[in-house]
Amino acid sequence: MYAEDLNVYDVIRMRRDVRAEFTGDVVDDATLWRILDAAHRAPSVGNSQPWDFVVVRERATLRRFADHVAEKRIEFRDALPPERAATFEPIKIEGIVESGTGIVVTYDHQRGGPQVLGRATVPETGIYSAVLAIQNLWLAATAEGVGVGWVSFYDPGFLSELVGLPDGIRPVAWLCAGPVREFQRVPDLERFGWRSGRPLDEAVHRETFRG
């Protein structure tokens, strides 16, 4: 297990949005449970814990979702200017089948009742809570040597039907999860020339946004 030799800063630096490095092995149940436990320990507004996790391993379901995502990828590519389409073409956007495990993270706005402490004036804090669970999951997975890839090329209605979400429960993310050969040192979107990151000193402001 990687975690014994890593501190939290190591894991943050190592974390990548994984697409092509999955080994093809399926993450074992004990490791998956530790990762989901870490996700479930995330902070949430009013302690509402508005998330659920749907674990998908049926090959036919993974394949069906992968085919849907491929269609959405083509739609996005065809809407790009030619030079951006050429940059985008070699970028792999998912590892749905290769990872062997999909984790659908959902959000329930009704969880915690009508008066969720802390959500009254900023209702988005509910969905933010689900995203914090995803971050916990992602970092825990990285510490375990398990790669995670966030797939966002899909129609939410399609995904809701695919995994049988009840009315009022919305999908936040499909996460591909599986053991990896390595974590890339440079994020894919930088390696392929889509977009570079910016330095911290451009993101930090003092007192006011213009400060």
Does residue 193 contact residue 84 with C-beta atoms inside 8 Å? no
The DSSP H or E segment spanning 155 is none
**Exposure string over 39-63, b if 16+ CB within 10 A, otherwise e:** beebebbbebbbbbbbebeeeeebe
pLDDT at 210: 85
Residue of higher predicted confidence among 169 and 115: 169
Residue 35 tokens read as 């990762």
Is it the case that residue 164 has pLDDT exceeding 70?
Answer: yes
Q: Exposed, middle or buried: residue 171 (CB in 10 Å: 0-12, 13-18, 19+)? A: buried
pTM beyond 0.85: yes
Residue of higher predicted confidence among 211 and 210: 210
* Amino acid at position 151, single letter: V
**Residue written as token pair 């999951």:** 137
Q: Which CATH number fits domain 18-180: 2.40.50.100, 3.40.109.10, 3.90.1150.10, 3.40.50.10420?
A: 3.40.109.10
Task: Read off the pLDDT of residues 15-32 as tens digits, 9 standing for 90 and up.
Answer: 999 999 999 999 999 999
At residue 118's C-alpha, the angle toward residues 116 and 120, to 5°, is 70
| Residues 35-38: contacts with CB under 8 Å, at least 24 apart | 35/137, 35/140, 35/141, 35/144, 35/146, 35/177, 36/103, 36/137, 38/136, 38/137, 38/139, 38/140
Task: Read off the pLDDT of residues 52-74 as tens digits, 9 standing for 90 and up.
Answer: 999 999 999 999 999 999 999 99
pLDDT at 211: 66
pLDDT at 1: 46
| Mean pLDDT, residues 102-113 | 96
Does residue 8 contact residue 142 with C-beta atoms inside 8 Å? no
Which of 18-22, 104-108, 166-170, 184-188 is the least confident region? 184-188
Is it the case that residue 194 has pLDDT exceeding 90?
Answer: no
Q: Which of 174, 19, 22, 184 is nearest to 94 (CA)?
A: 19
Task: Read off the pLDDT of residues 171-184 as tens digits, 9 standing for 90 and up.
Answer: 999 999 999 999 98
The DSSP H or E segment spanning 188 is helix 188-191
Count of CB atoms situated within 10 Å of the CB of 35: 26
3-state secondary structure of 107: strand
pLDDT at 15: 95
Domain boundaries, the chain: 18-180
Task: Read off the pLDDT of residues 126-143 as tens digits, 9 standing for 90 and up.
Answer: 999 999 999 999 999 999
Percent of the chain at pLDDT > 70 equals 98
